[in-house]
Amino acid sequence: MPFDVKRFRGIFPAALTMFDEKNNLDEEATARHWDWLITHQGVDGLVIAGTSGEFIALEGEERTRLFRLARDVVRKRVPVIYGSGHYSTKLTIQLSEEAQRCGADALIIILPYFQKPPKAAVIEHYRRVRQAINLPIMLYNNPQNSACVELNPPEIARLADEDVLHMVKSTFGTVEPVHDLYYLVGDRMAIFYGSFLAALEGLAAGAHGWISGVLNVVGKAAKAMYQAVVVHNDVRKGLLIWHKILPIVHLYTYQQIGPVSDLAIYRSMLKLWGLPGGYCRDPFFPLDEKQEKVLHDLLHQCGWIDPDHILDNLEPMNSFCRKGKVEPTAR
């Protein structure tokens, strides 16, 4: 394997893409948010044009604009993984070539979505992309969102042995794929837990890092949890920090604000903190005034109205989530 993936460790937000109220790409607000994640939240890297970056709503030219923007904003301060996946192998290669020209440190490539190609075709898709590209490739193993068959740990390990895959974002509620894959490949791949449902367990099971959209708002706390669990082997402290993060996860998984997208919640949180939150591209609509009020009250109740001090007290707290659970999207 020709690539050193040891620098891909820690907390990598699946960074938001900012749009304005008219659905236009807002590069200035996007740049400000990415810079805030690096300078104020202390994240270890970024994933751009991923699911939480709404790649599915972007035109090809807009993805290229994001690739260039990342190069200009990040300036090699942290590694950046560019989302260049498409259903089409040809278009995935074209986007990946453009990402490579724009200085990507690695690529994250979603399973070929919607059309449900057979597994042998999915594997060949990744082989052909690797033949065309000289960058580390992260498998975005997200069968729920892509409606594509997943690759299991032995299959991923074989593709790692072939120098086709070098990293993986395991986007499942369960952590079984993480510990199975770590058993098979160890540190030869960079393994990232990729949901917001069990990040503590994912890190404890051997994940080298965490990628998720929720890290747009809990990056600093997540970094502290990573340090506790992975660096200092202090799972108890990690659990206490995870209990601070869980109320933000529950805003979506328990639909405490109503039937809204998780991305709209994160954007409203940023705005409540006086930061650019932008808009999603329709049909992900923003919170209405009543929902904004509910969000404000819940953040005040759990301490996240003042995010800079959320970790000042790590005493165990009772969750305020008492509603029946709905099935979440494992972003």
What average pLDDT does the structure give for the chain? 94
Looking at residue 2, its pLDDT comes to 76
pLDDT at 227: 98
Quickly count: other Cβ atoms within 10 Å of residue 313's Cβ: 10
Q: Catalytic: 169?
A: yes
**Can you give the pTM of this predicted structure?**
0.95
Query: Among 140, 226, 252, 279, which one carries the catalytic annotation?
Result: 140
Active site residue 113: no
The amino acid at 92: T
Point out the catalytic residue in the list 169, 220, 223, 244. Answer: 169
Inform me whether the pLDDT recorded for 324 exceeds 60: no
CA distance 212 to 197: 10
Query: What is the spatial distance between Cα 201 and Cα 70, in angstroms, rounded to a whole number?
Result: 31
pLDDT at residue number 331: 56
d(CA 286, CA 292): 9
Topology of the domain covering 10-234: TIM Barrel (3.20.20)
Per-residue exposure over 181-208, b if at least 16 CB sit within 10 Å of its own CB, e if not: bbebbeeebbbbbbbbbbbbbbbbbbbb
At 145, is the secondary structure helix, strand, or coil?
helix
What's the mean pLDDT in 86-103?
A: 97
Residue 328 clears pLDDT 70, i.e. is over it: no
Residue 191's beta-bridge partner residues? 168
Structure tokens at 31: 């740049």
